[in-house]
Each structure stands twice: as C-alpha cells, then as structure tokens.
Structure 1
Amino acid sequence: MASYIDCVVDTNPMAQEISTVSNHIKGTTTAVVAMQTAVVLAEQKAADHVCDNVNKGFYTLIRSQISQKIAKLQSEVDSHLMHLNQQRKQLLSVKSRMEHDYNMISGRYLKLFNGLNQNLKQRVLELDRPMIDFAVKEVEKVSNRTKYLAATVPVSQLESLAASQKIIASNVKFRGLKLINSMSNFLADMSEQKKLTDRILVEKVNAVENSILFIPVLISECNFDKYGNEDIDVAVNNVQLSQQAQAVVKNAVNHHIENLQWQPVKEIDKEVRSEFSKLLSSANTSQRVKEMANKLFMANSFQTMKPP
C-alpha cells in the first residue's frame, strides 16, 4: 500500500527568477521595436538617397545628350549655310561672267550687222546710181526749192516783204531746231554708248583663294553648382572674324572638345604673368587687395591642353 509524504516546497525563488526573466523579455521587446524603427528609417534614407542620385544622374545624362545634339545640329546648320553662301557667290560669279559674254557677243554682232547693212545699202545704191541720185537729190532740191532759196534777197513789192521775212525767220528757226535735235541725239547716243561700255568692260572678279589661318581660341572650364557639374566656355577673337565665322569656330571646338586632354603646367608662362601684372598695376584697388591677388595668382596651379 502506497504511502504519501507531505513536503512543503518554497516557490518564491522560482517566481522571482521568472519575474526577472519577464522583465528582461520586456526590455528585449523594447530594444527590438527600437531597432526595427531605426532599420526602417535607415532603409527609407537609403532609398531616398538612391532615388536622388538616380534622378540627378538621369537629368544630367539627358542634359548632356540634349547639349550634344544641339551642338551637332548647330554645326550642321552652319555648315549648310556656308555651303549655300559659297554656291550663291559662285552663281553670282557665273551670272556676271554670262552678262559680260552676252554684252561682248551682242556688241560684236551689232557691229557686224551694221557693217553688212551699210555694205548692202551701198551696193543697192550702186545698182542704179543715176536713178537714185535723181530720186534722192534732184527731187528733194525741186521740192524744197523755196526753202533753199529763202536766204536770197527778196525783190518784190512792199506787201510781200513781211511774208518773206517771216519765211526767212521760220527757216532759221527750223535749222536751229534741227541743230538742237542733232546735238540731243548725239549726247543721248554718247550716254548710251558709255553705259554699254561700262557694262561690257566690267572689272575682273577677284579670284577666291583658299588659305589656312591659325586662330587663337580660349577654352575655360568651371564648376557651376555644388554637384560638380562642369561648364565649358569657348571665346574667339571678335575683331577680325564675323559673327558667322565665330559661330563656326565655336561649333568646331565644341564638337572636338571631348577629345581634348588637360595637363598640369610646372610654371606660369611669362607672357601670362606679364599681362596679369599689367592688369593688376592698372586696377583701382588698394595695395592689400593687389598683394592678395598676386599671392593667389602665384599659388594657383594651371592646366593646358595637350597638343594633338
């Protein structure tokens, strides 16, 4: 027969330990929640940073591609414009040459046909000289007998004296009118001949010669924002070059500017140093500012492009 032993067990230590474990679990839970919150914030910041960099890179890439396309299209437009201007000059030269040839050929044939007309007229007149002389000379003399005899002294009655004087005055006026018309026709012919001669004897068109010119170009590179984006500026001489020539040179430099490489310079060029000293001495600033500018200039490092 089984027997039972009654014993009293104290559970307070185990309860205290369980209570301690419960407190540690609560602290762990709080730490896990805080860590999860921190992880979520870190992931959000990382995602925002990645998105900002991706957007910045995308916009920079699009801007660079658009700038390259603009430069390329501008270069093509300027090239076509120069080609069209060259063709226009050639067409004007051909037009001038054709006008010169036309005037020369027309003058030559005009002289030839005038000579042929004169020779034919002379031959026709020689076919029947007596009849021509009678029709041209004698009949005209008979018809104009009163006009040719108007200068003779009128011997008539007093009644017809006034009429005779009027005839003489009319004859003098008619001959004066013929003289004036002859002079006018002569002057008009001389003016027309001068205009025709000026059109024929044009000046020789200066021949266009191709030559090579060395043009200095200033290329400056700088950072225009805090992200390190670079801005490149090209400066060309604007004294001896036209606006079109300057645009062509700038487009050509922008087209090949990616292939250019910079190299550091050991010492400042003497001409650059001399020009800077002249500008510094002529500046209307204090001596302290000039010394600081000279100090910064001497401490600065330069880079030049490597020769191709």
Structure 2
Amino acid sequence: MAARTAFLFPGQGAQSVGMAAELCAEFPQARERFAEASEILGYDLLGMCTGGPAEQLDSTAHSQPAIYVASLAALERLDAESPDVVDNCVATAGLSLGEYTALAFAGALSFADGLRVVAERGAAMQDAAEAVPSGMVSILGMELADIETIVREAAQGEVLAVANHLCPGNIVISGTTSACERAAELAEHGGAMRVVPLAVAGAFHTELMKPAVARLEAVLETVDLRPPRIPVISNVDAQPHDDPVEIRRLLGEQVVSPVRWEDSMRHLLADYGIETCWEIGPGRVLRGLMKRIDRKFPCEGVTA
C-alpha cells in the first residue's frame, strides 16, 4: 500500500528566473497550464518565468500568479511520474500565497478561478506595499518572546508585528521600513544568529495590507468556492475548514494576520497519519522548514 502523503505548496519568494523551463520542455501538461494561464492573464507568463527580467518576475503582481501556476505545473509532473503519490495525498497546506495552490489542488477552486484571485491578490498587495515604505525581516536563532519584546521596543508608534512563525528559531517580522531597521539592530545586539532583510515589496501580514483586503474579498465573491475534498490547513488558525463562507473570510484575514506555519505543520503531522510530505513547486524552503520542525520526518520534492 502506498504511503499516506501531504502536499506543501510554496509562497512568494520561491520564484527565480529560469523556473518551469525544463518542466515545460518535458511535460505537455505543464505547458498547457501555462498556456491557459497566459490566456487568462493577458501576458506570456511562461516567458517571464523562464526569461525574466528578474525585476518583473519578482514584483508581487507577477510572482504570485507565477508561483501558483508553476506549482500546479510541477504537480502535473508528479502525477505523470508517480500517480500513486498524488492519489494518496490526504491533506495539504501552502505558505501564504501557497494556500491558494493547496485549495486548487483540493478542488475548492478551479485552476482558472484560483489564478484570477491570485492575480488580483498580488496586484492589490503590490499597490498596498507601494503606498507606505515597508518590508520584512527574518530573525534567526531567537525565541518568540524575545522577538515580541524587540517588536514592542522598535515600533515607536509605527506598524511592526510578527508576521510569520515559520519554524523553531526562524521568525519573520513585518512593518514600516524604519521600524524594521530599528528591530534588526536590536535583534543583532540581542543575540540573534542572523538578521536577514527579505526581498519583498512591503509589510505583508500586517495592517499595512488592509487596503488589499477589500479588493481580495471582492474577487473571492465572484468565484465558485467549494468544500475541499481533503483537509487544507489555514495559515490563520492552523486548522482545516470545510465551509466556503469561512474559507473566504479566512483568506481575507490571512493578508493581515501572522502565518502560523509551524503550528500548521505540527497539526498536519499529528492528525492525519501522514508518512511523507512533498514540497510541490519552485524552491526548497518548505523542506528546510520541515527539517527544523521535525528532523526525522521525510519531506521530498518536485520542483518547477
């Protein structure tokens, strides 16, 4: 009997110029995904993924649909090579943007509707990011309580919050540029192993993204959202949800709420009898995080 699997889908930042080139050269099904996507978006998404330029691919408006499509194209490869792995997937999760990929895989959204939502989400978040100079900083090797103290100290009346609980010793904060700079300095002097400003457009998963929420909720109302056929773990509360109304609400909330990835993975590993995880899509970030959450748990991957 094949192993029970869980699929993990990457979020923004996993993109790189050249992704999906080999995948689409070898698998017609992957090429078809990109062809359909380009028709919906009105531009050559595969050309941007394979040839750049990086500044264009890295913009939030483009990177979110690019990762969504590349991840589902990578899934086509896995389905062609190891259909039993796909058939035995019993639960799924995605990091921030990746939650939409997980919902599409689980049948809650069609590929086309998911792409339309993700494209609007990316454009809305890009616009919100450009309204206020802001960013995100990864702090490695510090306890959450210590980082929360730094956030309170560094905020000085500006927006600054814990944005991503990724794994033990890897927490991301998010806020105005000046508050992030103050927090980075405090973390460096406070014993952090590393402090890494992230190459993102703005302060995702904070109240600075509020202007994006209304646009996202509006487009979510236009698509057919169904109960997922397998559990999809929400970033907001690290729990699965069946009710499309609740899923819609949480997807709007997700933009301004911390991503509880470590809690999501612990729930996934504890409750579904899973024997192997697969990271599906560009990059290897989620496999690295899983090693920090449970070093012994096998996590394989199929890259875009």
Between structure 1 and structure 2, the one with the greater Rg is 1
Above 0.5 in TM-score? no
Task: Select the structure with the greater relative contact order (CA < 8 A; seq sep ≥ 6).
Answer: 2
Richer in helix (by share): 1
TM-score bin, normalised by smaller chain:
under 0.3
TM-score, normalised to structure 2's length? 0.18
Richer in strand (by share): 2
